[in-house]
Amino acid sequence: MEELVPKYDLFIQKHLFPIEKEIIYGSFKSNLPRLQALREIAKKEGLFAPHLSLHEGGLGLELMEFARISEVLGKSPLGHYIFNCQAPDIGNMELLHQFANEMLKEKYLVPLQRGDIRSCFAMTEPNNAGSNPVHLSTRATLEGNEYVINGHKWFTSSADGANFTIVMAITDPDNPNPYQRASMLLVPLDNPGYQLVRNIPIMGDIGDDYMSHGEVTFTNCRVPSSYLIGKEGQGFALAQERLGPGRIHHCMRWIGICERALDLMCRRALDRELDPGKPLSSQQTIQNWIAESAADIKASRLLVLETAYQIQHFGAKSAKEDISTIKFFVSGVMMKIIDRAIQVHGALGITDDTVLSFWYRHERGAKIYDGPDEVHKSVLARRILKSYSKP
Ligand SMILES: Cc1cc2nc3c(=O)[nH]c(=O)nc-3n(C[C@H](O)[C@H](O)[C@H](O)COP(=O)(O)OP(=O)(O)OC[C@H]3O[C@@H](n4cnc5c(N)ncnc54)[C@H](O)[C@@H]3O)c2cc1C
């Protein structure tokens, strides 16, 4: 497995670094043929979809092994997409693989795994606090053998151009257990009851296609009851399953971003001269930032791999606090290192002439999505405080 790491590294350096700025600061949609051509090269080199089993056309990697690859792919904003292991599709693949019926698997999972279609995940609502996952207004009511869905969602990432969404909707509003009120349903996006209202601008960048965040509505949107994923009322249980390994993928991708930002920081510090023969790197503050960033990256990697080990061997439930810890720790490290790298670049750092401004704008959300950092800190703090409680 370790021999795979330099192969992915070489691929992204050779094929992605030279073109990434043109695509992330331009139109993703109009570059789809170019991106598809790169996916074909990845397939030919036997590197496509590393997270899938051999039987499904992947590399059959364990979670910890895929984590190492995810770190390398994170160095380019296009890395995960090219190898078809990008969020939210990777999470949806896992969900469908584990819980969908055979009909849904054949119709939606197989083309998703091949990279022929894309998907999205619609849970968060503009009118309810997303940090309380049970606080949802979207309803799905069973009428005969169809569910009728009504609701308003936003931050449905990558909805633009997706083939289907998995929507979280309340199916049993009176259940005394709020965690058993919601279900997950697959909705094909050519459904007349579905509408993509807009792509939401993120700090001035509206994005398109895969690189976008949609506001969407469901108005008397009908799907067959066989489009239910898992069982009715299992929505939150399935969401938990989706999020455990998902946090490992995100965190390792963030570490890849940190490594690239540190690399750019070092190169600039060595090249930029304050005076002839006096590079920025001669300054102690810059040296401190470089050393602190390297240490933060190493600490993050060890924490995430330890959590991946725990999930891989004992299940996501046993690693609840560790998963919360890596979520807020690594997102904090990432934002700190991106910010330092920008500072070292001076005015150049805030331009779109490097990838840093893209990450500064788009990765700020990392402290908010998958549960705001504050919620994860409370999970960890409560566990620690519990050990002090009187018998
Ligand atoms: C880039 C990005 C991509 C996303 N992609 C998706 C997607 O594909 N599908 C999807 O369904 N959703 C997605 N989301 C939405 C995301 O899941 C929500 O934004 C998140 O759950 C927080 O909900 P909220 O935005 O409503 O914030 P709110 O719940 O309104 O919280 C606002 C703030 O309050 C604070 N806070 C909240 N709870 C607590 C607490 N218990 N203790 C202390 N402070 C607290 C936090 O600082 C938080 O940031 C995405 C979000 C972003 C930013």
Q: Say if residues 244 and 323 touch (Cβ distance below 8 Å).
A: yes
Which atom of ligand 1 approaches the CA of 365 most closely?
53
Distance 374 CA to ligand 1 centre (A): 10
Q: What is the model's pLDDT at position 366?
A: 97
Which atom of ligand 1 approaches the CA of 88 most closely?
8
Instruction: Give the three-class secondary structure for 46.
Output: coil
Nearest to 100, CA basis, from 223, 168, 184, 221 = 184
**Which amino acid belongs to residue 92?**
N
For a ligand 1 pocket test, name from 138, 328, 369, 373 the mutation site with the most ligand atoms within 8 angstroms of its C-beta.
369
Q: What is the model's pLDDT at position 327?
A: 96
Q: Residue 201's CB: how many other CB atoms inside 10 A?
A: 11
**pLDDT per residue rounded down to tens, the chain (391 residues):** 789 999 999 999 999 999 999 999 999 999 999 999 999 999 999 999 999 999 998 999 999 999 999 999 999 999 999 999 999 999 999 999 999 999 999 999 999 999 999 999 999 999 999 999 899 999 999 999 999 999 999 999 999 999 999 999 999 999 999 999 999 999 999 999 999 999 999 999 999 999 999 999 999 999 999 999 999 999 999 988 777 788 899 999 999 999 999 999 999 999 999 999 999 999 999 999 999 999 999 999 999 999 999 998 998 888 999 999 999 999 999 999 999 999 999 999 999 999 999 999 999 999 999 899 999 999 999 999 999 987 6
User: How far is Cα 235 from Cα 229, in angstroms, rounded to an integer?
Assistant: 8
Residues within 6 Å of ligand 1 by CB: 88, 121-124, 129-131, 155-157, 213, 365, 368-369, 372, 374-375, 378
User: Which pTM was predicted?
Assistant: 0.96
Q: What is the model's pLDDT at position 70?
A: 96
Q: What is the model's pLDDT at position 241?
A: 76
Q: What is the model's pLDDT at position 361?
A: 97
Distance 366 CA to ligand 1 centre (A): 10
Q: Is 200 exposed, middle or buried (0-12, 13-18, 19+ CB in 10 A)?
A: middle
Name the residue at shortest CA distance from atom 41 of ligand 1: 375
Distance 125 CA to ligand 1 centre (A): 10
Distance 365 CA to ligand 1 centre (A): 9
Alpha helices in the chain (DSSP H): 4-11, 20-24, 32-44, 63-73, 79-82, 89-99, 102-104, 110-114, 235-271, 284-314, 320-345, 356-362, 373-386
Distance 324 CA to ligand 1 centre (A): 15
For a ligand 1 pocket test, name from 121, 123, 128, 131 the mutation site with the most ligand atoms within 8 angstroms of its C-beta.
131
Distance 130 CA to ligand 1 centre (A): 5
